[in-house]
């Protein structure tokens, strides 16, 4: 008896499908969606806010939807549904690069644009990648900013997270490259690795200051090491003598920027990234060919586009200081 | 209370829920009814359907049977079989290796429950963390790429609107298990021991052996599910099976299987799997935040069980 009912349901379902299959969707405004890696964290909330602002400015319908856990299956399901909804351009902050390829095919078959933002899947066939900042710029900026604050000379300590983290090591190598090329009197100490804990970072930072009384600055490379490094400078009474810095989000760094334990931090502005993502989606829908340098209304600097790699670059990293940190919330 | 009243009542509830969902969609989101959505629902149903079938068998067998490790088994099988491929396992052996590995992990669960006499809830909670933790530890949390490309059509291709893995795995195993449950002595044993374990033992049914086999079957099905994820995504991910334990349990209960064992059928479970995936897709389609979707599954579960209680009272 139960089986029969399920069969009836199946038939009804099928009939409904057939009846509605022909109904086409008509959208007045172009629809652009962004799928983050996870919803409910400040970083992606900031991207959403930027996307909303761009949607209002550009006359776009903006959909923001992402998984509750960092689960690639859920993310893929969301992307597929957005395509089925008739969204013309879908941006994804990719969780698993290899899982994107099948939906890229699907998007192409539907005439929709699938592109990546914040995290890329280079070999998936995506339309383009909206990148936040290059590793090179992140490495160079922190050294340039620090050098200008210490007068181009002095000893600098580096506290990183895991020794195996590729992105952190890349940033460190670009720091070393910049220091060597531009600031011969700036001495970068060998990086110390704190793993994932703030306590260990505080310990290492304290030891660095004890071992090097002439230390001028400490760079917290992993975001998890930011509070530890800043607190160590505070506890050692070296505020003003040692400049703390690193790749720290404004919300993490705000108290330390305000009390001087950190001079500045470097990262990118996720709300600008969200803004650029929606702008890029609009260009894809409109079929605009991007040029090497693009003026984006709403963003202060023009954005560069590399047609070979398909990377649309937000620009130089943002520098957060005590003066501007209150404008950001992530 | 009759033995069959409970599943029947729940199947009726499921049927009403299906109608309500389709009705609401027809009214508010008619664009939902397009072939691509049906294809998408089936595509995302396979993994849940396979592990839910295993879950259903374990629950049916009674003895407080539950398999919380289904998702962790999917994750660990995916990781282990890809590590094996990287270590030199010939690609054509990947499918049997994955299914076999799943069976072995299921055997682990079964031994804990039947030989060591651990409560299934505790035993499989333990292996949920053990298997899941191992999958993360072996990879440091990152994916393992390198699935042989010839597997992709199986994970991504369709026949008409129906994905190949749905045709090749889901339909055959559900029909096979339904036949075994209804036509063979084994099937009758499973229901009998789920309904009255002591009576089953007295009747000479090898309860422990059957139960061990049920956990192994759940593992084999998790292995098949893992294989589907590999062919679909092209890489193994250590958290690919996340949340499957609760979703499969929801599908089993909504599908009319009694949590106490003994009563229920597998096609109700398949209908419930399709309903849960459709509901999630429909909510997604209506731009309801994903954070609500998790809650909706929980609400659905409570709703079904509530209606169930009322029905049981009426019948009693």
State ipTM: 0.73
Residue A95 located in a structural domain? yes
CATH architecture observed for domain B5-23+35-315:
Orthogonal Bundle (1.10)
Of B11, B240, B284, the CB nearest to A78: B284
Tell me the percentage of chain A whose pLDDT exceeds 70: 92
Residues A178, A202 share a domain: yes
- Our CA angle for A7, A8, A14, nearest 5°, is 90
- What is the arithmetic mean of pLDDT over A242-262? 93
Per-residue confidence (pLDDT) for residue B6, from 0 to 100: 60
Residues A128, A73 share a domain: yes
Residue A185 located in a structural domain? yes
Partners of A155 in beta bridges:
A187, A215
Residues A258, A145 share a domain: yes
**Closest Cα in chain A, distance from residue B9 (Å):** 9
Partners of A113 in beta bridges:
A89
Q: Which residues of B touch A63 (CB under 8 A)?
A: 287
- Could you give phi then psi for residue A91, rounded to 5 degrees? -100, 140
Q: Which residue of B has its CA nearest to A82?
A: B285
Residue to test with chain A: of B32, B33, B267, B291, most A Cβ within 10 A: B33
Q: Six-digit token pair at A243?
A: 């400049």
Q: To the nearest whole number, what is the mean pLDDT of chain A?
A: 87
Q: In the listed set A267, A288, A307, which residue is the last one of a domain according to the structure?
A: A267
Tell me the percentage of chain A whose pLDDT exceeds 90: 59
Of A5, A73, A105, the CB nearest to B240: A73
Residue in A269, A274, A280, A279 with CA at minimum distance from that of residue A48: A274
Chain B touched by A166 (CB under 8 Å):
no
- Asked whether residue A3 carries a pLDDT value surpassing 70, the answer given is no
Of A16, A74, A164, the CB nearest to B22: A16
Task: Indicate the range of A24-33, A138-147, A289-298, B8-17 predicted with least confidence.
Answer: A24-33
How many domains does one find in chain A?
2
**Closest Cα in chain B, distance from residue A82 (Å):** 7
Residue A287 located in a structural domain? yes
Number of continuous H segments (helices) and E segments (strands) in chain A: 10, 15
**Closest Cα in chain A, distance from residue B117 (Å):** 34
- Could you give phi then psi for residue B286, rounded to 5 degrees? -90, 15
Residue A235 located in a structural domain? yes
Residue A70 burial (CB < 10 Å; 0-12/13-18/19+)? Answer: middle
- Asked whether residue A299 carries a pLDDT value surpassing 90, the answer given is no
What is the C-alpha separation between B23 and A329, in angstroms, rounded? 42
Domain that holds residue A299: 24-132+270-315
Residue in B301, B257, B308 with CA at minimum distance from that of residue B275: B301
Residue to test with chain B: of A19, A45, A81, most B Cβ within 10 A: A81
Residue A64 is classified by DSSP as: E
Chain A touched by B280 (CB under 8 Å):
yes
- Asked whether residue A151 carries a pLDDT value surpassing 50, the answer given is yes
Question: pLDDT of A40-64, one tens digit each?
Answer: 888 899 999 999 999 999 999 999 9
What is the C-alpha separation between A242 and A306, in angstroms, rounded? 39
> What is the radius of gyration, based on Cα positions, of chain B?
19
**pLDDT below 50 — which residues of chain B?**
1-4, 315-316
Per-residue confidence (pLDDT) for residue A136, from 0 to 100: 92
- In this structure, the strands spanning A293-294 and A303-306 are antiparallel
CATH code at position A237: 3.40.50.2300
- What is the arithmetic mean of pLDDT over A147-152? 93
Q: How confident is the model at residue A25 (pLDDT cuts 50, 70, 90)?
A: very low
The better pLDDT of the pair A247, A97 is held by A247
Q: Which residue of A has its CA nearest to B235?
A: A98
**Closest Cα in chain B, distance from residue A30 (Å):** 16
Chain A touched by B217 (CB under 8 Å):
no
Q: In the listed set A244, A267, A290, which residue is the last one of a domain according to the structure?
A: A267
Of A19, A65, A72, the CB nearest to B284: A65
Residue A241 located in a structural domain? yes
Q: Which residues of B touch A96 (CB under 8 A)?
A: 143, 233, 235, 237
């Amino acid at each position: 008896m139960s089986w029969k009912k399920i069969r009836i349901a199946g038939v009804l379902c099928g009939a409904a499908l057939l009846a509605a299959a022909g109904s086409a969707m008509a959208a007045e405004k172009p629809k652009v969606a962004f799928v983050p890696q996870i919803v409910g964290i400040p970083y992606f909330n900031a991207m959403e806010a930027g996307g909303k602002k761009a949607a209002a400015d550009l006359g776009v319908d903006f959909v923001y939807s992402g998984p509750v856990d960092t689960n690639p299956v859920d993310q893929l399901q969301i992307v597929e549904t957005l395509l089925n909804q008739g969204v013309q351009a879908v941006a994804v902050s990719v969780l698993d690069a290899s899982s994107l390829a099948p939906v890229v095919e699907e998007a192409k078959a539907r005439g929709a644009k699938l592109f990546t933002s914040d995290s890329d899947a280079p070999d998936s066939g995506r339309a383009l990648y909206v990148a936040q900042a290059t590793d090179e710029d992140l490495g160079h900026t922190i050294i340039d900013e620090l050098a200008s604050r210490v007068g181009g000379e002095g000893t600098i300590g580096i506290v990183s997270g895991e020794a195996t983290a590729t992105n952190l090591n890349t940033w460190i190598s670009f720091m070393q490259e910049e220091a060597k090329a531009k600031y011969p009197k700036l001495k970068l100490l060998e990086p110390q690795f704190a793993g994932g804990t703030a306590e260990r970072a505080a310990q290492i930072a304290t030891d660095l200051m004890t071992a090097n009384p002439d230390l001028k600055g400490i760079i917290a490379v992993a975001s998890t090491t930011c509070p530890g490094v800043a607190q160590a400078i505070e506890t050692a009474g070296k505020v003003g003598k040692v400049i703390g810095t690193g790749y720290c989000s404004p919300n993490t760094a705000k108290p330390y920027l305000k009390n001087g334990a950190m001079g500045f931090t470097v990262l990118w502005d996720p709300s600008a990234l969200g803004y650029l993502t929606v702008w890029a989606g609009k260009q894809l829908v409109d079929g605009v060919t991007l040029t090497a340098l693009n003026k984006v209304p709403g963003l202060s600097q023009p954005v560069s586009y590399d047609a070979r790699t398909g990377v649309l670059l937000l620009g130089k990293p943002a520098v957060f200081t005590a003066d501007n940190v209150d404008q950001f919330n992530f | 209370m009759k033995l069959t009243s409970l599943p029947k009542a729940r199947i009726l509830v499921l049927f009403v829920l299906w109608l309500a969902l389709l009705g609401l969609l027809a009214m508010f989101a008619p664009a939902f009814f397009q072939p691509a959505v049906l294809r998408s629902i089936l595509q995302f149903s396979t993994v849940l359907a396979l592990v839910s079938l295993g879950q259903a068998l374990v629950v049916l067998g009674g003895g407080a049977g539950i398999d919380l490790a289904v998702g962790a088994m999917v994750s660990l099988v995916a990781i282990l079989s890809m590590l094996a491929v990287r270590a030199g396992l010939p690609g054509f052996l990947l499918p049997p290796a994955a299914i076999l590995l799943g069976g072995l992990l299921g055997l682990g669960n079964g031994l804990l429950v039947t030989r060591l006499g651990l409560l299934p809830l505790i035993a499989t909670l333990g292996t949920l963390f053990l298997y899941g933790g191992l999958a993360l530890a072996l990879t440091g949390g990152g994916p393992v790429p390198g699935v042989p490309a010839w597997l992709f059509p199986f994970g991504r291709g369709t026949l008409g609107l129906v994905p190949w893995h749905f045709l090749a795995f889901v339909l055959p195993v559900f029909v096979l298990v339904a036949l075994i449950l209804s036509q063979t002595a084994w099937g009758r044993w499973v229901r009998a021991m789920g309904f009255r374990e002591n009576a089953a033992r007295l009747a000479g049914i090898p309860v422990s052996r059957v139960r061990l086999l049920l956990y192994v079957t759940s593992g084999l099905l998790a292995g098949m599910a893992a294989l589907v994820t590999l062919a679909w995504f092209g890489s193994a991910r250590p958290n690919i099976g996340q949340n499957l334990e609760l979703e499969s349990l929801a599908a089993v209960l909504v599908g009319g299987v009694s949590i106490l064992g003994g009563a229920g059928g597998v096609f109700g479970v398949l209908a419930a799997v399709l309903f849960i995936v459709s509901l999630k897709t429909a909510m997604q389609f209506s731009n309801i935040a994903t954070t609500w979707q998790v809650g909706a599954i929980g609400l659905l579960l409570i709703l079904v069980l509530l209606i169930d209680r009322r029905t049981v009272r009426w019948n009693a």
